[in-house]
Amino acid sequence: MSFVCLLIHFPALWLEDVLNLKYSGKHGYDMRWVGDAFASQGHSTDGSPQFNTSSPIPVPGTLYSISLSLPKYRDFYSFMKFSAFSFLFLVKSASSFSMTATKSYLAEIPMGAPDAILGIADNFKKCTDPNKVNVCVGAYRDENGKPWILPSVREAEKIMMEDPAENKEYASISGDAAYVAQAVKFAYGQDADLSKIAAVQTLSGTGACRVGGQFLANFFPVKKIYIPDPTWGNHINIFEECGLEVVRYRYYNRATNGLNLDGMIEDIKAAPEGAIVLLHACAHNPTGCDPSVEQWKTISDLIKQKNLQVFFDSAYQGFASGDAEADAFALRYFVEQGHNIMLAQSFAKNFGLYGERCGTLSFLTDNADEKERVMSQVKRIIRPMYSSPPVHGSSIVRTVLTNEKLTKQYYEECAFMANRIGSMRTLLAEKLKEAGSTHDWSHVTSQIGMFAYTGKFREETTI
């Protein structure tokens, strides 16, 4: 393509220069020869010969197709020789360019490994078996295996559609302040002191972890974060990308299919003072195994003793017990005990807003001045990362939580989902027993939330 363009444009522009072509509107081009030899006919008022094209040429810089009787003059041979030389030069240059062009760096990009969770989801979509069941992605489904949009969410959208104040303008860097206030109260409690909680809207829980991790990497003195083993797979990627050293602490006992409290305590004790510890606020992903109230208190005492920075990840508030208030126990207890708290919060699961990317990141600060300084630095992280969050999902949450009727309806729907998940656990254990399984499946019914560990090892599983 480059070669063709050069052939078309260069001779045309050269002719414009040598022949002094001047566009004269709808009448075409007037060509005034600049040499000192000219024909004996068609002279203009200034003494130079004038030639007119038989049809107009619309755009300068294209290949001219003109029938002319060029005058005999002393440089005509030079003119033709130069034109031929230019043509050969362009052919040779274009040929050399095509032979020596470097291969794009993209040709050397290796194939990346598929995501452990979403890769399975992609394979599920490709499967043509009519009896297929997706037990991988943490998304609630109705009895027909279809996504369920909460009726309270639908009603909130209707209210938004009729509200002339709703628009599609950019949110601020920190997001919709009214939504953020409601989200913070949902997690910390209605009596939370908002003057000491620095909070921003984020791209769901993933974005909250990413922004929070970057904040810790930028400002926290100990660049080491302790996360449970096992945990949500993306935790590791997120915090390593932030530049934090990721260390695992024991959490799940695969022999008993329950919490490994002794191992957890031992590993947290070994952490350096002032390190960061990540805790799942409720409905642990992927084990479904949460500490009891008394175990949470034991964990809190140790973390307070070690002066660790607590980073709660709350993605399932309301899905654990069916009561969003009860599921906030761990977070609120740690606040009461005076811990240094950060919270990544998501509304993907408990509001069914998976694709809306709606969450918050919050910090418990000592005073209003500290809050403002934290906010200023968090906004500096967000601005070059994604600038501002989407507004539709946050507007839904804000509308539900500021409407008394919709709030009550939402809590009922959230309880319905959690209770149905519990009944599905019971049904699964019963059907496995009916199928002749002698394995102890009691842990499936004792676990909570959207995830369950089977207690089976890979060699015991047929794939």
Query: What CATH number is given to the structural domain containing 182?
Result: 3.40.640.10
The domain tally of the chain equals: 2
Nearest-angstrom CA–CA distance, 326 and 305 = 26
Q: Is the pLDDT of residue 431 over 60?
A: yes
* pLDDT tens-place string over residues 166-217: 999 999 999 999 999 999 999 999 999 999 999 999 999 999 999 999 999 9
Q: What mean pLDDT, rounded, does the chain reach?
A: 83
Q: Assess contact for 355 and 139: CB atoms under 8 A.
A: no
Query: Cα angle vertex 78, ends 72, 79, to 5°?
Result: 75
Nearest to 349 by CA among 160, 211, 150: 150
Do 211 and 343 belong to one domain?
yes
Do 386 and 242 belong to one domain?
yes
Q: Assess contact for 343 and 331: CB atoms under 8 A.
A: yes
Specify if 136 maps to a domain: no
Strand partners, 29: 23
Specify if 300 maps to a domain: yes
Q: Name the token pair of 211.
A: 């922004």
* pLDDT tens-place string over residues 251-270: 999 888 999 999 999 999 99
Q: Which of 100, 116, 150 is the last residue of a domain?
A: 100
* pLDDT tens-place string over residues 41-79: 444 445 444 444 444 444 444 444 444 444 444 455 555
Mean pLDDT of 342-354: 96
Query: What is the H or E stretch that residue 219 is in?
Result: helix 204-219
pLDDT on residue 98 = 52
Q: Is the pLDDT of residue 333 over 80?
A: yes
Do 96 and 162 belong to one domain?
no
Specify if 417 maps to a domain: no
8 or 217, greater pLDDT: 217
pLDDT on residue 287 = 92
Do 166 and 87 belong to one domain?
no
Nearest-angstrom CA–CA distance, 124 and 115 = 13
Q: What does the CA dihedral 276, 279, 281, 284 come to, rounded to 10 degrees? A: 160
Q: Name the token pair of 442.
A: 């009691």
Q: Name the token pair of 445.
A: 């019914």
Q: How sure is the predictor about 354, in pLDDT bands with cuts at 50, 70 and 90?
A: very high
Tokens 């709350």 identify what position?
314
Specify if 341 maps to a domain: yes
Do 88 and 162 belong to one domain?
no
Do 96 and 187 belong to one domain?
no
Query: What is the H or E stretch that residue 346 is in?
Result: strand 341-346
Q: Is the pLDDT of residue 283 over 60?
A: yes
- Encode burial over 436-447: b for 16+ CB neighbours within 10 A, e otherwise: eeeeebebbeeb
Q: Name the token pair of 388.
A: 């501002």
Do 200 and 73 belong to one domain?
no
Specify if 135 maps to a domain: no
Of 176, 349, 371, 441, catalytic: 349
DSSP per-residue codes, 424-458: HHHHHHHHHHHTT--S--HHHHHS-SS-------G
Q: What's the DSSP call for residue 325?
A: T
Catalytic-residue membership of 232: yes
Q: What percent of the chain is modeled with pLDDT above 90?
A: 60
Calculate the alpha carbon distances from 373 to 67, 197, 211, 348, 377 in Å.
77, 12, 16, 29, 7
Of 176, 267, 313, 327, catalytic: 313
- Count of other CB atoms within 10 angstroms of residue 380: 14
Tokens 């957890």 identify what position?
264
Do 223 and 327 belong to one domain?
yes
Which range, 29-33, 134-138, 397-401, has the best average confidence (pLDDT)? 397-401
115 or 357, greater pLDDT: 357
Nearest to 16 by CA among 32, 27, 3, 28: 32
pLDDT on residue 138 = 76
Do 95 and 165 belong to one domain?
no
Q: Is the pLDDT of residue 33 over 60?
A: no
* pLDDT tens-place string over residues 90-147: 555 555 555 556 789 998 999 988 877 777 777 888 888 888 877 777 788 888 888 8
> Which pTM does this prediction carry?
0.76
Of 33, 176, 232, 441, catalytic: 232
Q: Environment class of residue 86 by beta-carbon count within 10 Å: exposed (0-12), middle (13-18) or buried (19+)?
A: middle
Nearest-angstrom CA–CA distance, 405 and 399 = 11
Nearest-angstrom CA–CA distance, 273 and 237 = 24
Catalytic-residue membership of 224: no
Do 76 and 176 belong to one domain?
no
Catalytic-residue membership of 313: yes
Q: Which of 100, 132, 149 is the last residue of a domain?
A: 100
Nearest-angstrom CA–CA distance, 454 and 19 = 86
Q: Name the token pair of 377.
A: 């630095």
Nearest-angstrom CA–CA distance, 432 and 435 = 5
Do 403 and 279 belong to one domain?
yes
Alpha helix segments (H runs only) across 24-176? 76-100, 118-126, 151-162
pLDDT on residue 367 = 95
Domain holding 198, by residue range, is: 158-408
Do 49 and 179 belong to one domain?
no
Phi, psi of 241 (to 5 degrees): -60, -30
pLDDT on residue 68 = 41
pLDDT on residue 132 = 82
pLDDT on residue 139 = 84
Amino acid at 440: D
Nearest-angstrom CA–CA distance, 445 and 354 = 26
